[in-house]
Chain A
Amino acid sequence: GAVVSQHPSWVICKSGTSVKIECRSLDFQATTMFWYRQFPKQSLMLMATSNEGSKATYEQGVEKDKFLINHASLTLSTLTVTSAHPEDSSFYICSARGGTGMQPQHFGDGTRLSIL
């Protein structure tokens, strides 16, 4: 149980294009979803937290107009990197949590984004 699917696994695109990443909870309803970013040899950094049907809450320093988050249902959240540039190249990971606050987050397998 508690499976989170993330798609695509990797993407390569040209500078200036927008990229959408999907995160789905397959066997539970995710009341809260989280988006992280991880640069090489570094730890995960939280970008934003979203609740179904509400606007996402972004961490300090994360541009909300550049990283668009939509959490339209209890099983799906999307992250769109708009007008991506090489410095946006990173490993993006989503997580989902159902139920009450003590329930653990379960993570997807990540999306490796490379901007040329």
Chain B
Amino acid sequence: DAKTTQPTSMDCAEGRAANLPCNHSTISGNEYVYWYRQIHSQGPQYIIHGLKNNETNEMASLIITEDRKSSTLILPHATLRDTAVYYCIVRANFGNEKLTFGTGTRLTIIP
């Protein structure tokens, strides 16, 4: 699996958009970008994934650069409940390819 690089921590004001960057410069053509988050003492929660086009769902938007070497997860209107560790993971789309969790970004939403 390609490695990802994320900032260790970020703060964001409540009600503002939270933009979480991720670098994945060695991503392969068949690897998707997945985002998960983990709130303290809970299992990870799936947020969104994409291959090369930008994606949006009810939780977030995923912006992937044209060269696919980086992406940004956008939480449009952050709330206190969005405080969590956010993981950016790249994974091939076949077989039992596993998710390899790095250290993620600890996002703190400030009132």
Contact = CB atoms under 8 A, between A and B. Distances in A.
Contacts of A46: 98-100
**Contact residues on B (Cβ < 8 Å of other chain), bracket:** 20 to 34
A101 B44 contact: no
A49 B36 CA distance: 19
Contacts of A109: 42-43
Main secondary structure of the interface of A (DSSP, over half): strand
Nearest to A91: B41
A109 B39 CA distance: 10
Interface of A: 2, 4, 6, 32, 34, 36, 43-46, 49, 51, 57, 91, 93-95, 100-102, 104-110, 112
Contacts of A108: 43
A66 B106 CA distance: 33
B68 interface: no
B93 A44 contact: no
B99 A105 contact: yes
7 contacts: A2-B46, A34-B98, A36-B101, A43-B102, A46-B100, A100-B93, A102-B32
